[in-house]
Amino acid sequence: MTTRIDTRFAELKKQGRAAFVTYVMAGDPDPATSLEIVKALSKSGAEIIELGIPFTDPMADGPSIQAAGLRALKVGMTLKKTLDLVRDFRKEDNITPLVLMGYYNPIYIYGVDRFLADAKASGVDGLIIVDLPPEEDDELCIPALKAGLNFIRLATPTTDDKRLPAVLANTSGFVYYVSIAGITGAAAADSNTVGQAVARIKQHTKLPICVGFGIRTPEAARAIAEKADGSVVGTALVDALKNSLDAEGRATAKTVNAVAELTAALAQGVRAAKQAAE
Amino acid sequence: MNIAKPNSYRSGPDERGHFGIFGGRFVAETLMPLILDLEKAYSAAKADPAFQAEMNGYLKNYVGRPSPLYFAERLTEHLGGAKIYLKREELNHTGSHKVNNVLGQIMLARRMGKKRIIAETGAGQHGVATATLCARFGLECVVYMGAVDVERQQPNVIRMEMLGATVVPVQSGTRTLKDAMNEALRDWVTNVHDTFYCIGTVAGPHPYPTLVRDFQSIIGVETKTQMQEVEGRLPDSLVACIGGGSNAMGLFHPFLDDPSVEIFGVEAAGHGLTQLHAASIAGGRPGVLHGNRTYLLMDADGQIQDAHSISAGLDYPGIGPEHSWLHEVGRVNYLSATDDEALAAFQLLSKLEGIIPALEPAHAIAKVMELAPKRAKDHLMVVNLSGRGDKDVPQVGDILKGKSK
């Protein structure tokens, strides 16, 4: 089975360059604007889109993404509406891979089988569920793979060589390397350390390795893209979105553009890495 | 409910940390290696007689164990039924049962070479116990506490600071215990290399529910011996309050396979079960939060709901996974007491026995007031008096003044 993610990485490999992966929260700051933002991401150069599922208790996220989730929940965003958003996006864009990222409880409550069927039908390609380590693979990972979705696992600086095979065993699509031990939006990743970690993981897998956490600028995105198969930016985009809102946290005329402009600049950074690598 | 009765209620969890469908290890990958290390370190410590001997020494001479099993004569007379015994955990050093668990975890942390301890706290009792043992063993201590709880439990905040701990008021979410736990987990993910997370209750990822239960089981083990000495037999019933449920699990666990013993857990019903409350079993359903599957208060979308209780220590939208399992297999009866019932019990115990209970065990006393009169005079009822009320005196004083106006 080939997903949009596999297809995209195959194309990028032919072109000899890394993927630019973006993250935004579904429903932030409201469902309609959020849909426009997701469309703008792909038009501005995002090659893979991660869409956050809002959750009240995001234990691995820093203040920016916590606040984004709360903004979305405040306007009534749910997992079902997140899937609706994906379906609407797919009416325009049937190529850009889309990955849902979040925590297990909303999916567990939605019902795993029903969720997987609805996610697949909506046009979701993969899942990143932060609080499902390989020890809990029976919950969602194995059923998701059977349903034809990629299950993308996080590897971290604490995942040593002994543990890597277990982490990689049921991973598909790509490996998401978390560049720091910490929460989203915290410290910056050092590209040399990241390069060593990517080389280490590559000894265990043929899957593409994307790196996230702590990448905020086009320069940083470029530096990482020279060491890995993809650069992931989330918090910086969420912050750009937030800075465009009015005092009540509502979208303004500037909101979609603010995200689109930063996305374009970051995409350029990642593309510049292509030349550096050649 | 169609759930098979196990041969023993004391054999859980399985090797993956499950009590039936509950428990598990739902944590970020960054934490997994450490959680596996902790499991190994705990198994090794359990098998090491030196560990147990050292712990017993501190339990006796530092904590002040065994805690007395006290016959509450006037409360018994007043209620006119069962003979009521109080397990006096409030007499422990630091004023609650929390110290039993913290001592065990701090000794584990030392074995693992960790120099920095973090903890979450609701009422501050676990925070105070953690700050105390960190002071005793010269460890750095950071306690996360919801900003709302910092406000209503000032005496404990001051105490923790005096003991040298850093108290971090948590401003995210509902600013209570649940958010303190989120923030502690965020700290842990960030500082995983040198930090030990000292969880205060029988919840969180495996092996925490098990190791906290084991460290707290001394409550039930002592009760069994003491009741044998005083009455020559087992008690007929046990009653304890439940937030996460560590004092209850500590009392209950040694009795789970004694079928003659009726067991009652008391959740916090807040303003009432149809309004804001913190009774996860009465008003929740199974979900996944803070590393385990258990009963949780949540909405139709799986978003965690705000809990409410007058008692900061019970103000949590979940419960330990083993309690969820004991509920489903029907071994323990889970009841609930409202804020008002707890306040009435707080005052009754103070006036009849000269013991000011913490608001948490006041919930257990509230149900004793209902259960005891319906029992025969030779029925032996043990209630876990898990903490003393000093920390609640300012809050209860204000509430009572407001009411008399």
Enumerate the residues of chain A whose CB falls inside 8 A of the CB of residue B26.
104, 131-133, 136
* Beta carbons of B28 and A106 less than 8 Å apart: no
Q: Check if B172 contacts A (Cβ < 8 Å).
A: yes
Tell me the C-alpha distance between A56 and A70, whole Å.
Answer: 7
Helix H or strand E encompassing B18 = strand B18-19
Which tens digits make up the pLDDT trace of B4-62?
Answer: 678 899 999 999 999 999 999 999 999 999 999 999 999 999 999 999 999 999 999 99
3-class DSSP state of B269: strand
Catalytic annotation present for B391: no
pLDDT tier at B404, thresholds 50, 70, 90: low
Tokens linked to B263: 């067991």
Segment A10-36 shows an average pLDDT of 97
Enumerate residues 285 to 324 of chain B having a beta carbon within 8 A of any beta carbon in chain A.
287-291, 293, 296, 298, 300-304
Tell me the C-alpha distance between B153 and B200, whole Å.
Answer: 17
* Angstroms from B218 CA to nearest CA on chain A: 31
pLDDT tier at A277, thresholds 50, 70, 90: very low
Q: Check if B21 contacts A (Cβ < 8 Å).
A: no
Residue A190: per-residue pLDDT:
85
Which of B133, B109, B362 has its CA nearest to residue B247?
B362
Catalytic annotation present for A136: no
Residues contacting residue A276 through CB under 8 Å, at least 6 positions apart: A222, A226
Residue A278: per-residue pLDDT:
40
Which tens digits make up the pLDDT trace of B309-338?
Answer: 999 889 899 999 999 999 999 999 999 999
Segment A136-158 shows an average pLDDT of 97
Tokens linked to A97: 């891979």
Q: Is the pLDDT of residue B389 over 60?
A: yes
- Catalytic site residue from A6, A28, A30, A50: A50
Q: DSSP label at B261?
A: -
Q: Are B216 and B208 in contact (CB under 8 A)?
A: no
Tell me the C-alpha distance between A240 and B135, whole Å.
Answer: 44
Which tens digits make up the pLDDT trace of A54-87?
Answer: 999 999 999 999 999 999 999 999 999 999 999 9
Q: Is the pLDDT of residue B1 over 70?
A: no
Residues contacting residue B172 through CB under 8 Å, at least 6 positions apart: A63, A66, B179, B182, B183
Q: Which residue's structure tokens are 């598909």? A: A172
Q: Are B323 and B281 in contact (CB under 8 A)?
A: yes
Smallest CA–CA distance from B182 into chain A, residue: A59
Q: Which residue's structure tokens are 């609407």? A: A88
Residue B405: per-residue pLDDT:
47
Strands, E assignment, B69-218: 69-71, 83-87, 116-121, 140-146, 166-170, 195-197
**DSSP collapsed to 3 states, chain A:** CCCHHHHHHHHHHHHCCCEEEEEEECCCCCHHHHHHHHHHHHHCCCCEEEEECCCCCCCCCCHHHHHHHHHHHHCCCCHHHHHHHHHHHHHHCCCCCEEEEECHHHHHHHCHHHHHHHHHHHCCCEEEECCCCHHHCCCCHHHHHHCCCEECCEECCCCCCCCHHHHHHCCCCCEEEECCCCCCCCCCCCHHHHHHHHHHHHCCCCCCEEEECCCCCHHHHHHHHCCCCEEEECHHHHHHHHHCCCCCCCCCCCHHHHHHHHHHHHHHHHHHHHHHHC
Residues A181-216: b if buried by 16+ CB within 10 A, e if exposed: bbbbbbeebebeebbebbeebeeebebbbbbbbbbb
* Beta carbons of B30 and A178 less than 8 Å apart: yes
- Catalytic site residue from B89, B120, B183, B222: B120
* Angstroms from A272 CA to nearest CA on chain B: 31
Tell me the C-alpha distance between B349 and B343, whole Å.
Answer: 10
Q: Check if B185 contacts A (Cβ < 8 Å).
A: yes
pLDDT tier at A188, thresholds 50, 70, 90: confident
Segment A257-263 shows an average pLDDT of 98
Tell me the C-alpha distance between B147 and B150, whole Å.
Answer: 5
Residue B176: per-residue pLDDT:
87
Tell me the C-alpha distance between B170 and B167, whole Å.
Answer: 9
Residue B6: per-residue pLDDT:
82
Helices (H), B112-144: 125-137
Is the ipTM above a cut-off of 0.90?
yes
Q: Is the pLDDT of residue A97 over 70?
A: yes
Catalytic annotation present for B386: yes
* Beta carbons of B186 and A183 less than 8 Å apart: yes
Enumerate the residues of chain A whose CB falls inside 8 A of the CB of residue B303.
54-56, 73, 106
Which tens digits make up the pLDDT trace of B125-162?
Answer: 999 999 999 999 999 999 999 999 998 888 999 999 99
Q: Are A103 and A133 in contact (CB under 8 A)?
A: no
Segment B110-115 shows an average pLDDT of 96
Q: Say how many Å lie between the first and final Cα of chain A, rounded.
A: 31
Of A123-132, B113-122, B306-315, B379-388, the one with minimum mean pLDDT is: B306-315
Smallest CA–CA distance from B286 into chain A, residue: A109
Q: Is the pLDDT of residue B301 over 60?
A: yes
* Angstroms from A277 CA to nearest CA on chain B: 30
Chains A & B: contacts with CB separation below 8 Å: 119
Which of A74, A71, A88, A78 has its CA nearest to residue A35?
A88
Q: Is the pLDDT of residue B349 over 50?
A: yes
Q: Is the pLDDT of residue B200 over 60?
A: yes
* Beta carbons of A183 and B189 less than 8 Å apart: yes
Q: Are A131 and A59 in contact (CB under 8 A)?
A: yes
* Beta carbons of A158 and B290 less than 8 Å apart: no
Q: Are B87 and B382 in contact (CB under 8 A)?
A: yes
- Which pTM was predicted? 0.96
Select the residue of B16, B25, B303 nearest A55 (Cβ to Cβ).
B303
Which of B164, B176, B167 has its CA nearest to residue B144?
B167
Q: Is the pLDDT of residue B222 over 80?
A: yes
Tell me the C-alpha distance between A265 and B402, whole Å.
Answer: 59
Give the mean pLDDT of chain A.
Answer: 95
Enumerate the residues of chain A whose CB falls inside 8 A of the CB of residue B185.
59-60
